[in-house]
Structure 1
Amino acid sequence: MLTPKENIMSLPVYVPGKTSKQIEKEMGIKNAVKMASNENPLGPSPAAVEAVNSFSSQIHLYPDGDCSRLKEKLSEKLGVASKNLAVGNGSNEVLDLIAKVFLGPGDEAIYGAHGFVVYPIVTAAAAAKGVVSHMPGLKHELEDFARRITPRTRVIFLANPNNPTGTIFSRGEFEDFLGKVPEHVAIVIDEAYFEYVDDPEYPDTLEYHSQREGLITVRTFSKIHGLAGTRIGYAIASERVAALLNRAKEPFNVNSVSQAAALAALEDSRHCAVSRKVNLEGLEYLHSFLDSMGVERTDSKANFVLAEVGRDAEGVYERLLRAGIIVRPVSAYGLENHIRVTVGTAEHNAAFINALSKAMEK
């Protein structure tokens, strides 16, 4: 009998949200609205769709193994050198590469109690120890992260905004924190939702990269760019760290179609601007109606809202499903009384509020 490594057996299992088609088949309903996976309700940029269609005749060729054209475009957009970039098969692979490079048996990684579930997964996969920082108020308390650093700490994972809470830490909090973290610790800032933030106190972490080699910013094309299905994300890091991540990646880890879509999406600033506007309006609408219903929720700065619906959260989730509204239960994040709902179109948001009102009457 084959015996797997012990740390593999202890890995937390990531359970993805089901598709609309799956739910429709299981529940016997039609026209289900998916508001569970923080996808862009407007879809991808039309330019990205055109690029994918145009590139289809070239899929017999291996992709650009270094994502050189995409790195050049990102370099131009971000004001960083191509040598400071590493591109992955979604930002999840980038997070895994960071763990692969910097974590091993005896090492520690710190992450939030209600942070992105991939952080404990990649930590355990590297046979390292996860150290959990509590999140009173459902936001990262950076002072608590700093207190938990030991000589064995190698990586700190922070999402800003955090998933699934949508909360952020401020520029001042971040600057204080940087001064407390030893140079042997990699600080990973996961900014999957940064384009949605409308807050003057939100820190631009790229401004701090010159201050320390171990600061790594991770971003994705899955959210505001609407390219979740293409799986493409990237890291901005020091030249040395980016080189280490690129050394650890698989050959041809990002396919040609994904690279073409991402290149086109970067050129379509209008799609991002419209997506951002729709999200801000939808976020305000959901916050307002949840408040009027007496439903506790976080002050989200992302494209989703975390709502506390009580001890019957699973029942509320099921009743929403029967009403054709798919949201995300978040018990895997230690939030048994909550659901997370993605900001949708105006029509979707209204349908969710209507269904939630009925679901919570039961």
Structure 2
Amino acid sequence: MVMVSRRGVIAAGAATAACAAFPAHARRAETDAAPLFGPAAGVALLSRNENPYGPAPSAIAAINQWASKGCYYADGGAKKLTAMIAERFGVTPDHVTIGSGSTEVLSAAGMAFAGKGAILCPELFWDTTALYAEAKGAKLKRVAMTDGLEVDLDAMAAAMGPDVGMVHICNPNNPTGRLLDGDKLRGFVRAVSPKAPVLIDEAYIELTDRPGYSSVAGLVNEGLDVVVCRTFSKIYGMAGLRVGYAVGRPDTIAKIRDYETSFGGNTAGLAAAIASYDDTAFTTFSKNRIGEARGMLQAAVKSAGLTALPSETNFLFVKVGDADTVQKAMAEKGILIRGAYGKWKNWSRVSTGKIEDVRRYVAALPGVVRA
């Protein structure tokens, strides 16, 4: 099979195919409009926790190699990636399920266990998938954060009861960026998992200083009813390719699979995931660039007289006067960040995007907060 470079595909393949497929007026409209993917020219996209340094070159090469096989269902690729994940975690393929991003797996877990009781969760976390289950009739049982906006494991353990069907935690937490202590979280899982499955969203775990210590994935090997969910969207820079997975007890994983809706995944995403899963050169590069950008943000926040919560993720949660006001002021400068999260009106989340875009945020922050 002929292999081509990333630049060659973009410059030649995509351009030639597009020119052949569309008439001139359509091509002009496409050129004048916003791009199909990613930010428009001149926009610093720091609002969605994306990693713009991916996908890895190995992933791009695999997409190019297998693109012509997109006419076939992707179950062969799903089987291959499942086996790779199982090998890394020291489990069997029955312990693993793959979804269209971790969003699908998390949503399926919520649906699988919400009928057995409420979803016990922190008051502030990435709750999109819990809200999906709630929209389908599930109940959410939220537990207040600590004064430092940490997930309160003691309070969550105290809230356990026969009314709880599943526990859902994000670690590191989004949007706060705070990381729970690994030993304390493992103790929590051991205490509550006999009562209900515990779902830990570890989307950002590879970005932490000590992923092995901070993750609870080892508890799966102990037979505990814990589900660890991860994604290729963050450190692998594949948010748009939609590949996520979960590792858990086979009986629990089987129940989650019953609620997944994607049919074997997509060819491009699976090819990219398989090629880059063991690409440590890229993941090291990716983590270093994210760390560099996070350091720039932290320095800028301090210089502006503000504070931010500790973070080992690709975003910061910054305390400001009014998050929506800061978001609007930044948007006027072509810098996109997040606004307020619910009642937390004075906390603003900013992501680590491209270094040049982070520089724009750094330069704009003093004037924005003084305005």
Q: Pick the TM interval, shorter chain.
A: 0.7 to 0.9
Match of 1:268 in 2: 279
Cα distance in 2 for partners of 1:168, 1:244 equals 29
- How far did 1:282 drift? 2.0
Q: 1:358 and 1:227, CA in 2 relative to 1: closer, same or farther beyond 3 A?
A: same
Which structure has the larger Rg? 2
Q: Supply the AA of the counterpart residue of 1:39.
A: E
Match of 2:23 in 1: none
The answer to whether 1:166 aligns with 2:177 is yes
- How far did 1:253 drift? 4.5
The answer to whether 1:39 aligns with 2:60 is no
Match of 2:368 in 1: 359
2:347 to 338, 342, 357: 338
Cα distance in 2 for partners of 1:114, 1:284 equals 24
- How far did 1:201 drift? 9.1
1:314 to 324, 328, 335: 324
Task: Give the superposed CA RMSD.
Answer: 2.2
Q: 1:173 and 1:251, CA in 2 relative to 1: closer, same or farther beyond 3 A?
A: closer
1:297 to 291, 299, 308: 308
Deviates more, 1:186-195 or 1:172-181: 172-181
- What TM-score comes out, normalization by structure 2 length? 0.84
Cα distance in 1 for partners of 2:90, 2:190 equals 25
The answer to whether 1:109 aligns with 2:122 is no
Q: Secondary structure at the match of 1:169?
A: coil
Q: Secondary structure at the match of 2:230?
A: strand
- What TM-score comes out, normalization by structure 1 length? 0.86
Cα distance in 1 for partners of 2:190, 2:207 equals 27
The answer to whether 1:98 aligns with 2:98 is no
Asked if structure 2 preserves the Cα contact closer than 8 Å seen for 1:169 and 1:202, the reply is no
Listed as ranges, the matches of 1:133-212 within 5 Å are 133-136=143-146, 137-181=148-192, 183-199=194-210, 202-212=213-223
- How far did 1:65 drift? 6.8
The answer to whether 1:129 aligns with 2:144 is no
Cα distance in 1 for partners of 2:81, 2:155 equals 37
Deviation readout 1:65-104 (Å, 9 max, x if unpaired): 7810111222233332211100011101101111221112
Q: Supply the AA of the counterpart residue of 1:277.
A: N
The answer to whether 1:89 aligns with 2:100 is yes
Deviation readout 1:294-347 (Å, 9 max, x if unpaired): 212110111100111113x21211111111111111324x32212211113332
Q: Secondary structure at the match of 2:326?
A: helix
Q: Supply the AA of the counterpart residue of 1:353.
A: V
Deviation readout 1:194-227 (Å, 9 max, x if unpaired): 0100148942312112334310000000111011
1:226 to 237, 246, 249: 237
Q: 1:285 and 1:148, CA in 2 relative to 1: closer, same or farther beyond 3 A?
A: same
Deviation readout 1:265-291 (Å, 9 max, x if unpaired): 213211100011112222222212212
Match of 2:334 in 1: 324
Cα distance in 2 for partners of 1:248, 1:315 equals 40
Cα distance in 2 for partners of 1:223, 1:182 equals 28
The answer to whether 1:278 aligns with 2:311 is no
- How far did 1:247 drift? 3.2
Unaligned 5+ segments in structure 2 are 1-32
Deviates more, 1:180-189 or 1:250-259: 250-259
Cα distance in 1 for partners of 2:189, 2:72 equals 44
Cα distance in 1 for partners of 2:56, 2:257 equals 28
Q: 1:324 and 1:70, CA in 2 relative to 1: closer, same or farther beyond 3 A?
A: same
Match of 1:349 in 2: 358
Asked if structure 2 preserves the Cα contact closer than 8 Å seen for 1:111 and 1:119, the reply is no
Deviation readout 1:2-30 (Å, 9 max, x if unpaired): xxxxxxxxxxxxxxxxxx948xxx9xx95
Q: 1:201 and 1:295, CA in 2 relative to 1: closer, same or farther beyond 3 A?
A: farther
Asked if structure 2 preserves the Cα contact closer than 8 Å seen for 1:193 and 1:223, the reply is yes
Q: Supply the AA of the counterpart residue of 1:354.
A: A
Cα distance in 2 for partners of 1:135, 1:240 equals 32
Cα distance in 2 for partners of 1:99, 1:65 equals 27
Cα distance in 2 for partners of 1:304, 1:80 equals 32
Q: Supply the AA of the counterpart residue of 1:183.
A: P
- How far did 1:356 drift? 1.4
Cα distance in 1 for partners of 2:124, 2:242 equals 24
Q: 1:300 and 1:206, CA in 2 relative to 1: closer, same or farther beyond 3 A?
A: same
Match of 2:16 in 1: none
Cα distance in 2 for partners of 1:342, 1:70 equals 29
Cα distance in 2 for partners of 1:115, 1:249 equals 22
Match of 1:16 in 2: none
